[in-house]
């Protein structure tokens, strides 16, 4: 619930905490009635499901289950329940980072950007979620409510309590592998280039660190050239020759950054 408040900055139109109503993902027909592709757990089951999820997470940690397996079971178990009115997907990704950090999967203080990889593979991500939720729909009996929401009329708790997380674990492992083998090395290479570029700028022109960092960022965003707008605003004190020199530095230091 604390994480929900963190990821949703404006709670004016969202009821915080465990939801009291049904929830579905999908479309609506021409009359506004629900056409669900996924239905979350019943509100009446939510507290016991969450308690079970927390207890299972603690048992996996105490028994040293592989961190990625623990993260997959806990985070995807959470998002399948869909316990909140809003913010479920963002809290779900936060839980992956939380479990991996708590299990010291990466060195302390290191940002391990696995959720960025997941979002970069958004189509695969959605397919994995649908492969789980789609087959469950035939076991869920629901009715539309006067508010055009869904109301589940049969017992469905076990569908969310006991689920096969093989596919989501495989997907998370793939994302972890790409993070370790590609994204982190690329990030390290960029940071080294960035530091080298900043040193070169500071040795050429006396300016505050923050301004030098902004200069690198603007040049990077504009494909190696300082944007005219920034040239006339933050960096109006630079001479034309200095701008040309800095852009040449960038071209040399980041020469293979697009490869």
The domain segmentation of the chain, as residue ranges, is 2-183, 205-253
Q: Are 22 and 145 in contact, with CB atoms under 8 Å apart?
A: yes
Outline where DSSP puts E strands in the chain: 24-28, 34-39, 142-144, 150-152
Backbone angles phi, psi at 130, to 5 degrees: -70, -35
Confidence at 4, pLDDT banded by 50, 70, 90: confident
Q: Is the pTM of this model over 0.75?
A: yes
Tokens of 113: 């950007």
pLDDT at 138 over 60: yes
State residue 141's pLDDT score.
Answer: 97
Please give the pLDDT value at position 14: 81
Rounded mean pLDDT of 14-31? 92
Q: Please give the CATH topology (third level) of the domain spanning 2-183.
A: Fic-like fold (1.10.3290)
Cα separation, 77 vs 49, whole angstroms: 9
As given in the structure block, the two tokens for residue 44 are 């009446």
Written as six digits, the tokens of 33 are 């009635």
As a whole-number percent, the residues of the chain with pLDDT over 90 amount to 76
pLDDT for 157: 96
Confidence of residue 16 (pLDDT cuts 50, 70, 90): confident
C-beta pairs of 132-141 under 8 Å, 24+ apart in sequence: 132/76, 132/80, 132/163, 132/164, 132/167, 132/168, 133/25, 133/37, 133/38, 133/80, 134/37, 134/38, 137/36, 137/37, 137/38, 137/39, 140/39
pLDDT of residue 118 exceeding 60, the answer is yes
Short-list 126, 112, 114, CA closest to 26: 126
pLDDT at position 110 is 75
- Tell me the sheet residues that pair with 151: 143
Q: Are 132 and 36 in contact (CB under 8 A)?
A: no
Residues 161-218: pLDDT tens digits? 999 999 999 999 999 999 989 988 888 888 899 999 999 998 889 888 889 999 999 9
């Amino acid at each position: 619930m604390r994480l929900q408040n963190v990821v949703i900055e404006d709670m004016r139109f969202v009821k915080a905490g465990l939801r009291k109503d049904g929830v579905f993902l999908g479309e609506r027909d021409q009359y506004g009635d629900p056409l669900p592709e996924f239905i979350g757990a019943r509100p009446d089951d939510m507290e016991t499901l969450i308690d079970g999820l927390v207890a299972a997470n603690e048992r996996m940690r105490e028994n040293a289950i592989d961190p990625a397996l623990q993260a997959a079971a806990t985070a995807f178990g959470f998002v399948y329940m869909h316990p909140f009115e809003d913010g479920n997907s963002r809290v779900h990704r936060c839980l992956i980072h939380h479990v991996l950090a708590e299990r010291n999967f990466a060195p302390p203080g290191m940002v391990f950007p696995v959720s960025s990889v997941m979002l970069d593979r958004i189509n695969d991500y959605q397919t994995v979620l649908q492969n789980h939720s789609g087959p469950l729909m035939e076991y869920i009996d629901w009715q539309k409510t006067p508010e055009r929401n869904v109301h589940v009329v049969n017992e469905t708790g076990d569908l969310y309590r006991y689920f096969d997380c093989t596919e989501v674990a495989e997907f998370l492992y793939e994302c972890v592998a790409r993070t370790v083998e590609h994204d982190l090395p690329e990030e390290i290479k960029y940071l080294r280039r960035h530091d080298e570029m900043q040193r070169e700028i500071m040795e050429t022109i006396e300016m505050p660190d923050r301004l030098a960092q902004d200069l690198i960022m603007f040049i990077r965003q504009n494909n190696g050239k300082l944007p005219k707008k920034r040239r006339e605003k933050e960096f109006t004190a630079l001479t034309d020759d200095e701008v040309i020199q800095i852009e040449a530095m960038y071209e040399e230091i980041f020469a293979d950054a697009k490869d």
